[in-house]
Amino acid sequence: MIAPFRPVAAATTLMLLALSACASPEARLRTGLVDAGLPDRTAACMAEYMADRLSVTQLRRLQSLASVKKVDYQRITLDDYLHKVRALKDAELIAVTGKAAFHCAF
């Protein structure tokens, strides 16, 4: 016999999983930029600018840069980050990221 709390626990787990999947693209992008080594303030500014201008595919490509973070875990410069973005060879992605970096640098 199934204990009465198991269906409740299962439903709660499913709801938590669903909510975690609903993180906004901006929040996920901000986290990815921080994981890639950008300072929190810069990442937040850039994510706000970029989230509505990039496709889901482009956002996923940016997400891959988080795994390329420097080994010594120091923050990287915007120039270093833009160099990594250029390596993705996506003109729109490069343009939007460059504009966000320029916008947020001042």
Could you tell me if residue 61 is inside a domain?
yes
Could you tell me if residue 44 is inside a domain?
yes
The dihedral through the CA atoms of 35, 38, 44, 48 has a sign that is negative
**pTM of this structure:** 0.70
Amino acid 21: pLDDT: 54
Residues 44 and 24: beta-carbon distance below 8 Å: no
Could you tell me if residue 40 is inside a domain?
yes
| CA gap 80, 75 in Å, rounded | 10
Could you tell me if residue 84 is inside a domain?
yes
Could you tell me if residue 15 is inside a domain?
no
Residues 64 and 44: beta-carbon distance below 8 Å: no
Could you tell me if residue 53 is inside a domain?
yes
Write the pLDDT tens digit of every residue in 63-85. Answer: 887 765 544 456 788 888 899 99
Amino acid 105: pLDDT: 85
Could you tell me if residue 11 is inside a domain?
no
Total tally of structural domains belonging to the chain: 1
Residue 56 belongs to domain spanning: 24-105
